[in-house]
Amino acid sequence: MNVRLCEKVPEWLGELVHVEDMCIDGTMHSDGEAANCVLMELPPSLGNLQALKTLSLMHLAALDLACVNRAAGVARNLKYSKL
């Protein structure tokens, strides 16, 4: 999901119950141009994705990792990376 211009990630992502791998990318182009500097948190509904194994967060300069821990349920051993 490309979120270059988003201030918020849609809450409906928590309804994608069969998703195993998710990438939330703050760039418009694959060359890394124009990173998202306004997205600061992820929706709590991401914690409902029991099938989610890998969450990749790319080019999200303002994202608070403490919010990622709460929203994505790191306590259930979800592997995530912030690039």
Query: What mean pLDDT do residues 54-70 have?
Result: 78
pLDDT at 66 over 80: no
Let me know if residue 6 belongs to a domain. Answer: no
Confidence of residue 40 (pLDDT cuts 50, 70, 90): confident
User: What pLDDT score does 27 carry?
Assistant: 80
Let me know if residue 2 belongs to a domain. Answer: no
Q: What percent of the chain has pLDDT over 70?
A: 69
Give the residue numbers spanning the domain of 22.
11-82
CA distances (Å), origin 46, targets 31, 33, 54, 63: 27, 26, 12, 15
pTM: 0.71
Q: Look at the chain and report how many structural domains it folds into.
A: 1
Which one-letter DSSP state was computed for residue 56? E
Q: Rounded CA gap, 2 and 4, in Å?
A: 6
pLDDT at 53 over 80: yes
